Amino acid sequence: MSRYRGPRAKIIRRLGALPGLSHKMLGSRSGYTNQLTTGKKISQYRIRLEEKQKLRFHYGLTERQLVKYVRIARRAKGSTGQILLQLLEMRLDNIIFRLGMAPTIPSARQLVNHRHILINANTVNIPSYNCETRDIITIKNRHESQSLITKNMNLSREQRIPNHLTFDLTRFRGSVNRITDREWIGLKINELLVVEYYSRQV
């Protein structure tokens, strides 16, 4: 399944707030709300499916990419759900978004694809690049890149930077200090339901 490129408002109305997909807040009509308003019983499969879709649309993943991350998380020691979220949070496009250099993850992906981003002084144009502790994220020293980041910073200035990251606005320099904590994910998600969704498929 390819990456979703349709109307974002439609997804937000169905699944609820997805900060990575859009900074706009719309009225949520998720399956849980529909259950209360219509009186219809929602199946456990649908609940798990909606949690999986939240994760996929928030991080802008294809189905194949998400399956790959679930497999990696299962092989690692610890809670599969928590490790899955940490893997997704360490993607370069998400780090750019969390630093406030882009208002959404799709726009962060575009910055990376257009070669505006440097990691440890090396150009990286792969949005799924896995960042590591002590990585330094900067932008190219050219007017186009700096003006674009400044514009994006103004759009996302109310966004709080997670405590595992730091950003120096004067030098357009971000750094990854450690692995993120669960409380800074910023997405209302039950990751255990996502793991359960894939339990018979992966």
| Domains, the chain, ordered by start | 8-87+187-197 (1.10.1050.10), 91-178 (3.10.290.10)
Would you place residue 128 in the very low, low, confident or very high pLDDT band (cuts 50, 70, 90)? very high
Sheet architecture: strand order including 165-168? 122-123, 117-119, 136-139, 173-176, 165-168
List pLDDT tens digits, range 103-122. Answer: 899 999 999 999 999 999 99
% of the chain with per-residue pLDDT over 70? 86
Paired tokens of 139: 């932008």
Residue 196 CB-half CA count within 13 A: 12
CA 177 to CA 194: how far, in whole Å? Answer: 27
Paired tokens of 128: 């799924």
Would you place residue 138 in the very low, low, confident or very high pLDDT band (cuts 50, 70, 90)? very high
Do 44 and 178 touch, CB atoms closer than 8 A? Answer: no
**Residue range 56-70: mean pLDDT, rounded:** 94
**Of 105, 100, 132, 127, whose CA–CA distance to 116 is shortest?**
127
- The predicted model scores a pTM of 0.84
Handedness of CA 56, 180, 87, 72 (dihedral sign): negative
Cα 108–Cα 109–Cα 111 angle in degrees, nearest 5: 65
pLDDT at 157 exceeding the cut of 70: no
List pLDDT tens digits, range 16-48. Answer: 888 888 766 554 444 444 444 445 678 999 999
Paired tokens of 94: 């998400």
Q: How far is CA 90 from the centre of its chain?
A: 9
Query: What backbone torsions phi and psi does residue 144 show, to the nearest 5 degrees?
Result: -60, -45
Burial class of residue 192 in the structure, from the number of CB atoms within 10 Å of its CB (0-12 exposed, 13-18 middle, 19+ buried)? middle
* Residues contacting residue 184 through CB under 8 Å, at least 6 positions apart: 162, 163, 164
